Structures are given as C-alpha cells and as structure tokens.
Amino acid sequence: MRNGLKEKLRRGEVAVGCWVTTPSLDVTRILAYAGFDWLVFDMEHAPLTMQDVQKLIAVVDPDRITPMVRVASNDPVVIKLALDVGAYGVIIPHVDSREEAVKAVKACKYPPKGIRGVGPRYPSMYGAEFGEYVSTADDEILMLIMIEHIDAVNRIDEILSVPDLEGFFVGPADLSASMGLLNEACNYPPSAKVQEAMAKVRETGKRHGVIAGTWAGSVDSANEYIAQGYRFIALAQDTDYLHRARQDLEKIARNPRSHH
C-alpha cells in the first residue's frame, strides 16, 4: 500500500480536497479527475452506507487521488469497516479528550500498536495481496481526529500529545455551536471568537508537529488558512458545486429588453 497523500503531507506540502455526500458514481468520478488531492466520503452527516462507500472508492484511482472516509463516530468497528472497504484514511468526529484520541489511534492500527481486527478485503485484493497490505497499512493509513467542541479546545495539549496521532481537522460549524454561536455556524470565515479558539488549536498542533486541517468553504478562506499553516484543506463539498448553478442563473439576462 502506498498513500500519495501521506507522502505529500510528509514533505510539508498542502493537500486540498472535497467532501462527497451523494452516492453517485458519476459525481465521484468527476471530482476525482478535477485535480483534488483527496476526497472524503461523509458517513456522519450524509446518508452514505458502507456499501455506498465501497462502490464510490472503487471508481477512484488511488494513485491519482486519495480516498478517505469521515466515519459516523469514534467506534472501532465502524473505523475497521471503513478501512476494510478501501479507505486510505479516516477522519474521526468529536474527539474531545485524550482518552478518545487514544481510542481513535488504536482503532486504525493492527496489533501490537492497536486493536484493528485483521480482515482487509478490498484493499488487499480480497487476500491476494494480504502480506503487502498488512505490512504497510499502519504506516500508510492517514488518521485525523476532529476538534469541534470547546471542551476539546480546552484540552487540546493533552489530546495532541497522544503518541502516533498524525493530525487534526477543526470543524468550525460544530465548534461555533458549542461556543453558543449556532446561528453563525455556517459563516466562512467563522466569527472572531471561533477563530481565536482555532488559533489555539493550530499553535498547539505546531508545537506537537502534527498536521493541521480545517474546512475552508471558499478559495479566499482556503488561501488564508494555508497562510496560517493549515495543510489539509477542505475546499467544499459536492453539493456546493451544484448550488453554484444558482449563481450562474442570477447572471443570465432573461429579459433582453432591459439592455436596450
């Protein structure tokens, strides 16, 4: 197993990706050839089943773009299944304590480092490449925990000091809600108060030498976050690009007479 995304991040480069929320092979295939570094198939807020995810991963060339899954919860069984259907990485939501971070790390690694059950299907070509996969998976799987609650921000040093933890992904929407700013949860960039909390997480991550990721929501925000030191950037999700049809329609002159 070779994870091009991890190689890029190890070199200190920026990796930009897109969230996939619809179970469409065509949408995934189009996004996979758009030039993103990674795609995340969302099982937390989107109605994607594990079977959907396996089919979507199958239309992605991992030498071109890295397939990842945001699992529904910090559950070793769910994480194991996501990896066994072919995910090259996982994003684990709502990690709010050191204990939860340790649990997430162990779920992604085989014994003796972790507790991942041995039964890779798709990524080992159903056993035909078993030895090669299990000997490389611990090093090649990318795992990011989500920091999306003020409780996690307040415990960030102990969370990010967990051995073998590779990085974090700040979820600005849930972080905003946990800080009493639900009405501003979808503002990009987020409020000054939330940005202050994000800065604390980012600076702590820098001290621990872990990857910093977050949701940008726009090109301008993405560039700003990159300047701040974030290297794993979610630019948008599939439905955002469909919504842009509305913006195009607003620019159409449907009443030609108004131009005379």
pLDDT at 254 over 90: no
pTM of the model: 0.94
Q: What is the pLDDT of residues 175-198, one digit of tens each?
A: 999 999 988 767 777 889 999 999
For the chain, the average pLDDT equals: 95
Q: What percent of the chain has pLDDT over 70?
A: 98
CB proximity list for 15: less than 8 A, separation 6 or greater:
5, 8, 9, 37, 38, 231, 232, 233
Kindly report the CATH number assigned to the domain that includes residue 167: 3.20.20.60
CB 72 within 8 A of CB 78: yes
| CA 162 to chain CA centroid, nearest Å | 19
Of how many residues is the chain composed?
Answer: 260
Q: What is the pLDDT of residues 100-142, one digit of tens each?
A: 999 999 999 999 999 999 999 999 999 999 999 999 999 999 9
Q: What are phi and psi of 56, to 5 degrees?
A: -70, -40
* Cis check: omega of the bond before 120, within 30 degrees of 0: no
Helices (H), the chain: 4-10, 25-32, 50-58, 76-84, 98-107, 130-140, 150-154, 156-160, 172-178, 192-208, 219-228, 238-250
Catalytic residue among 45, 208, 259, 260: 45
For position 258, what pLDDT does the model report?
56
Active site residue 45: yes
Total structural domains within the chain:
1
For position 260, what pLDDT does the model report?
52
Domain with 184, as residue range(s), is 4-259
In terms of C-beta density within 10 A (0-12 exposed, 13-18 middle, 19 or more buried), how is residue 49 classed?
Answer: exposed
